[in-house]
Amino acid sequence: MPPPLNERQSLELERAELPGQILATQDELIATPAENRGRRERLDGQIRNLRKRLVKVEARLAAIRAER
């Protein structure tokens, strides 16, 4: 069993995964017909939330590096 990740490692992993999640959600949004307004709005909200999370993760990683 691998050892548990520390906060920095967890954040780096999340930072690496978030751009792919954003792209996948954008692709899903593009593939969703304009008539399906509710789904498009939900996907757009997910993209905004993923982008906000990426900013928060990067800020926390910068703070961790500054602590060293």
Q: Hey, where are the domains in the chain?
A: 7-67
Of the pLDDT bands very low, low, confident and very high (cuts 50, 70, 90), residue 4 is low
* pLDDT value for 6: 92
11-67 residue pLDDT tens: 999 999 999 999 999 999 999 999 999 999 999 999 999 999 999 999 999 999 998
Per-residue pLDDT for 3 more than 90?
Answer: no
First to last CA, the chain: 29
* pLDDT value for 39: 98
Tell me if 25 sits within 8 A of 47, measured CB to CB.
yes
pTM of the model: 0.89
